[in-house]
Structure 1
Amino acid sequence: IRSWAHEYVMSRQIPYSRREHHAKIWSFLWDEDILLQVKSYIREHKWDISPQMLMIQMNEIILPGLGFAPSPTIHINTARNYLKELGYTYAKVKKGIYIDGHEREGVVVYRKIFLEQMSKFEHRMPIFSGDNLDEITWPDSNIQPLILVTHDECIFSAYDGSRSLWIPDGEQPLRKKGNGRSIHVSEFLTDVCGRLALPDEMQVSDDFPREACVIMHPGKNNDGWWKADDLISQVIERAIPIFEARFPGCQALFAFDNASSHATFSPDALIAKNMNLN
């Protein structure tokens, strides 16, 4: 207290508090040279910075480059605190408005109908047990086994990007318009073997497909667009033949998403755009 009083008498200024500036909790960001290099590195990686990247940069580049010997290191938790101190927050990238429709009245009603229908097939389906669910119990010999085959469809785009990033407070990354080059994957899965495909040891003719998966590059200037006709061809020419070869004596129960791309008219349906109205 005497030293504080003496300092005030001599300088007429209230002494600056040294609280939390003890040597045990000294921060590298208090060093101006380190702070400048850290800020410069973060600016270069504004939209892809992460605590892991900052930790590696400080431990391998910044601190050794400034002559710290033996070079100290920081933990990833420290790097995370540094990002927060410099105004970064780990948050989801917002793009438009998302509305969750899983609890809509019509969806709930249909879900109950679907579950009731699926319960009728349970006695014909295999049962999985064991710690890793790798033990399969098949139905009785007088019951034809029924295997659920689900359609798994996904599209991967070049501009998808990460859903969550370390971003500056109050800012959002401006991503490129459109999706960029895309890859569309149409796959079939079963709980018995995973991907619907033939095992390597199974010998078939050269023109027989070995997997049900179909990959295309959608777009006007690429492979076109995935339509219901493409899905039907995949089921008839790939999924069913592979299933019958892989699971002889079994029956498949195919499950598809209720997507608009899966809807189609019969070949002889009256469609206005295909009719001659003149």
Structure 2
Amino acid sequence: GLVAVEALLKSKMSDFAGGPTGLQAKQTCTIASYLALVVHKNYCPLVASQLAAECHGFAKMWGGHQVWSWARACVSERMLPISLTGHHTKTYSLLSDPGIAAELHTYVRSNKWAINPDKLAAFTKDQLIPAEAEQYAQRVTSDEMPNGLKQYMEHELLPQLHLKVSRGISLVTARQWLHHEGFKFMTHKKGVYFDGAGHGIHQSDVICSTEGHLVDAGCSLEYGKNYEGYWNGELFVKQLKEKIIPAFEQAHGAGYQALFFIDNSQGNSAYAEDALLALEK
């Protein structure tokens, strides 16, 4: 079982496709983590595969499924994951491979695609005037990021995996992948919307860094003195206790800790009932 697999992994340490930092090496380390969790920590295979996938930069659900299949092949056939080039159907996409997707995410977040790093830094720090910031964001998502992604795939990532796309990666494909992964231009305003009757609606939502939009954690109220009042710290604390924490535990399971980043709004400020506030008269 595990001893034989560990011996196989050690014997391949210097013979990975793409080298010791390539995709196969990363997959092998993920297999080792998965097996260690199952054998030494008594984790169930499903949880172990998802934890191992997330730990090594793969997607939790799809990556976890892949880890389980890799480990099964490794245990039963003594085979490590291999490239699907030449063996996949015509509908297979390299961008759907969790390993390649993880590498692309790392590249995009590194900001190495930026033509003007100083301007990108100014944009992220909200130092550009609104009109200039909007134009820059549109140009980045429609031009700079897709071009950078295309160059990275063609000249770095695919050669490392010993893969080659005969006609290269098109800008359309790069834009589609970025759009699918959430890297797209959109305007963002404070969470106040209006219904068909013109009534203000406050929407307090939660975005998880691993699970995305936690729908069940959201809370809304109809703005104005004649409706449901105004959003305040007490309502936020109530949402945190009754919706956000239960939704987080449902998504991740019991025992996990969450680090919350709250936007700088007075409506999210909450104090103890007997707190001494200098602003109150």
**Superposition TM-score, scaled by structure 2 size:** 0.31
The structure with the largest alpha-carbon Rg is 1
Q: Which has the higher contact order (CA 8 A, sep 6+)?
A: 1
Which one has the bigger strand percentage? 1
